[in-house]
Structure 1
Amino acid sequence: MDLTDMPCAPITHMLLAALFERASLGGPIATPGSVGVSVGKIKLFVRYLAGHPSPPIGVTDLERQHLDGFEDRLREEHGSEKTFAAVSVLAIVVLLKAASAIGFPLASDLRARLTWNINGDWGSNRTYEPYTFDIWDSVRTAAAEAQRKTVRSRHAIATEVWGGPAKDLLEEVIATGKIAGDGFARAKNCGGAQRIYRKAFILKQDLVPFILRLAMETGWEPDVIRGLRADCLVNESNGTVGVLTRKRRRHGSEHKEVRVKDGSLSTPGGIIRAVITLTASARATLGSDMLWLGHQQFGSLGVYKFDDTKSLFRQFVTDYGLTDPDGGPLKLNLVRIRKTYKSLRYRALNGDMNDFPNGHSADVAARNYANVETNRDLHEQTISDGILDFLTATDGQAKPSNPSPQPATSHPTDTWLSTCVNIYESPYGEIGKPCKAVPWMCFACPNSVSSPHKLPAQLAFMKLAHDQRHQLSAEVWNARYGYAWTHLAREIIPRFSAEEIAEAKLIAGHDPANGFLTIAMGVEV
């Protein structure tokens, strides 16, 4: 990066020194992209100074009028309603503060000006409106169908047994991540290069429905989803799991554990588990701990670059015939998906701003997620109800604002292996107190309900119990696991379809090609 031709050399040098300080190890600027953005703001500022009626010669000549004039010029050129002026001025203010901190002498009026960031409003960029709820439902349905299709195809591919030259070539591709040399000629005799790659790794296109579904179930920012690692799941408990996330813009608290539901492919935990399994071979080949890895069709093996998402999303839209309200191809955008998720949550809370912000200030949440067109009917209905309540109250017939409380009712509770209808009415303990029985006793309990989202845990339990056969005596094993094992094999597992079982195996983190489990009494799952 050559800045030797920049005007106002002393000031350019000062700002670059401040940038170097902020980009040093442990500093707030941690990526090459962020450094590049800052350099762009420096160029913009010093070029403005060079054309100023009173251009500063040295560092001490830089005054408040120069910074204020820079802001005025940007607002004039780009509009006060946009954020460009505010962001650019803020970047220079931050660098000037850093320069002062490392010893550069600044004029007294400029130091006083640095006590605030900008003179005008912050402004706002073009905002994305949420999708309509019909479009949301169609995308969600398509993503769920695509997930199931991927699970079925990967299961079928994994169970194919290859031998001879095809097996040798496959092992080379898994080891190196690519076909090289005479491999292409050999691949022609094995069904083609794409067949080899598809057997070895998941395609990046097949990850699209998992990305969409995860965004729709969590409302996470695109950079949070992009930054997930293969070891991000921690602290499983009662049908939930912690996800270690990283949001670069959350300065000072970038890393955060977020608690989400865990179970089937419709839950965030289940989606992430499935992707961990699907991308395991790519991860081993690349030696990477990133979550989103795959092979680009007619391309190479690597990290799923979210910059390429547009083309992959377009293919997904074409495959499932998704259209916008005007009948044209739908433009999928993760930011709009997040907006729609927030809008749905806002409506579910009936516009309660006390609970809605969740990671934002109330002002930001209201401006970016609540004050959108899809919520207009909710706001208008709220106003209408308020007026009606007022008119009713003035007639002396106001309805009570706090109706009489209803008797508390018990809600189903997720346990490790099933859902408990009423954890406070256990046949194994005192009524009114939480059940303390071990999880596998649930299968003998009338309060227990088994559903597809608990199937991964049940299959994992059966594997655990199977492994324990070699460590416990037959008498101890039967006393501890016998009833649960037999009940699962005869009564519960047969109720689920082969497709549901394949999904559950994937989420449980097992290779479908392994035969996986052999259930007691000769029943194979």
Structure 2
Amino acid sequence: MTGDDGLPLALHLHRIRTTHDALQDRSHWRGSRRTTLDPNRSPGVEGDHYLTNTTPAQRTAVEDIIAQAQEDLVRRALPPLVLATAEMADLVEKYPEHMKWLGLDNDALAQLLSGERDVFTAACGDQLSGLHGPKGKPCPARPWVCLLCPLALFAPRHLPNLLRLRSFFSRQWQQMTTAEFIPLFGPYAHRLDEILTPDRYFSEQALRAAAAEVTDSDIELPLRPEEHTV
């Protein structure tokens, strides 16, 4: 490379590097979730250069997280286990695969149908299964999480609490933006609407009778202080 005078052009590598650094975009370095990465690189470049050098243990942990997320999506896609009566024969006849998966004996099924295994919105097949918390310890899930749990059985006795939960969702909808509500409560509200659709699982008369017990107040639900509506 030559200059205008025809002589070899002297390159100042330090000046080139300094000029390159000065031209880089730094407007997103502060207040960004990507502050530890260079905003001038694409996510693909960052992943190839900085995120692929993992140990076998790290790769196993990431694969476990992915597997758990996929299992959660599959569980959410399963239809709700709703029983319009409290007869064990109906439960075993209508949901044989579900009963086999739960692995419940006759005594456990009797407890499930009698209310001995009730939580707020449903009857739980096994609170110690560890689906939403440490295995062997009582499930710490919030009341609405049961709506998408494969261990939940919804029976007519749960209708008042299900309607109380619907009222809670309605109050939350009024005080939250759509962008806030949908990720937090959207899937659960959709499942609740599915269960409470008149004459789909429960009769309209049963729904009206249960609605008479609902006062549309946060006091009716087991909420944490930060979950109360204004």
Q: Over alpha carbons, which structure has the higher Rg? A: 1
Provide TM-score, normalisation by structure 1.
0.19
What is the TM-score of this pair, normalised by structure 2?
Answer: 0.41
Which structure has more relative contact order (CA 8 Å, sep 6+)? It is 2
